[in-house]
Structure formats: C-alpha cells, structure tokens
Amino acid sequence: MSKNVALVLSSGGARGLAHIGAIEELLAQGYHITSIAGCSMGALIAGVYAAGKLEDFREWMKTVDRRKMLELTDFSLSLNHLVKGTRIIEAIMEFVPDMPIQQLPIPYCAVATDWKAGHEVIMRDGSLFEAIRASISLPAFYEPVQRNGMILIDGGVTNPIPLNRVERQEGDLLVGIDVSGHDYGAQEMRITHYSMLSRVSSIMIRQNSLLMAQLTHPDILVDIQMSSYGTFDYDKSEKLIAIGRQKTRKALEDYER
C-alpha cells in the first residue's frame, strides 16, 4: 500500500488549526507528504508545513490568547475591509521566512478568488506569503490583495477544498482534510444580521466542499465537524489540534482496515 500523500487542506478559519493535528497524525502513521495544497487557513498551514516550520508555528499558536489576537489586529478605516492583515503576516514571518513558492522543498499550491472576474486563482509560484495572504482574505474583513490587476479575496468563495489543484504523482494517495462541516441542529442561534450571513456563508462553503469531494474521489477524506468552535477561536489551538489528530487517526484506521 502506498503511503505517499498529496494532501489538501480546506478553509475554515480557526477550525483550520485542526490541520496541524491531521498532518502530525499522518506523519506519525508513516505517511509521506509529497505535495500539498490549501485554501484560506488551509493555505496558511500548508505553506508553513511546506516551508518546514510547522512545529514553530504550533509553538507560536500556544502563545496566542485573546489579548494577543487583539494586538495582531490592525484595524482599518477603509470602506471595503475592517482589518489590514499586515501584522499577523509579519508576526508569522518572524519564524517562517518568505520565499518563492518554486523553492519550497515540496510542491505547494494556494487558491484565492479574483473579486473582479469572479473566478478561482491558482497560485503555484511567486511569494509564499503573498499567496497565503491572498487566500486568507476573508471578504469585508481582511484587505484584499492586489496582484497582476486582480483583486484577490478568500479562496473559500470559489474552491474551499482544492482537491483538483494539488500536484499529484502516480501512486500518490489523494487525501483531503475538511473542517467546513457543522452540525447545524446542535446550535441554538439568534437570528441577527451577522448570524444570518455567517450561516449562509458556511452552508455555501460546505456544499461546495461536498461537491468537490464527489468530483475528485479522494482516497481518504477526513471530515471534521466542530460546531462548538468558531471562525475566530484561535486561542483554542491545542484543543483544535487534538481534534484534528483524533479524527485523522480514525480515518486512517478505517482506510487501512
């Protein structure tokens, strides 16, 4: 049985920290990640892993509490975004150096969305952190990234789990980690402007993720549903990482059975 993996990490905000646990479990079980792709938070984790700095990132996340999150939030007075998104990238770049994607040890791909043209943008070259910053540009929250005449926003708008974009060699297992799932019935929510938009967005992303899985038939799809964790729960990294590891272990056991 092949243990070479072309790995794809979904969008999901703070829930995407579960991707760290998923990667750790894959490696612990003897799998070898030959290429990696991601969207939004998945693009960030994938890029950090490809650069060989996942352990440093995990240790840094342990220091992120609500106060530090506020310190890393550079608010803007712009009409099209609330946060510039510069501080968070600069903080990560202190221990993950920027480099051309082509120079990473393994093939890496991030996806974003061109707001002007309304289509997916696939980034396989150029600055690693420009690709990450574009992919995480949550609409109306983070400032969009301007690149080659495009206005780039979050890749989750068009392809929240880019199973069709990862570079794959013959014999590689296609493995996807999807943290977009919600048990909607388990949550009591007041209907407000924010909750309405938030739930509609999460439903659309989830349906796009399910459709992509149906189209690409991954060998292993780790479906991680975490309704009790929100988009901005970055101060709960250890719990989220543990969930990712646990769910991946179960998926691998089922696959190898």
- Whether residue 220 contacts residue 173, with contact meaning beta carbons closer than 8 Å, is answered with yes
**Would you say 15 and 9 are in contact if contact means Cβ atoms under 8 Å apart?**
no
d(CA 239, CA 154): 25
Q: Which one of 114, 154, 178, 233 is the catalytic residue?
A: 154
Catalytic residue among 11, 35, 40, 135: 40
The tens digit of pLDDT for each residue in 51-90 reads 999 999 999 999 999 999 999 999 998 888 999 999 999 9
Task: Residue 251: give the domain boundaries.
Answer: 4-256
Q: Which tens digit of pLDDT belongs to each residue from 126-147?
A: 999 999 999 999 998 999 999 9
- Does residue 182 surpass a pLDDT of 80? no
CATH number, position 86: 3.40.1090.10
Distance CA 247, CA 250 (A): 5
pLDDT at 196 over 90: no
Predicted TM-score of the model (pTM): 0.95
Task: State residue 185's pLDDT score.
Answer: 57
In the residue annotation, 154 being an active-site residue is answered as yes
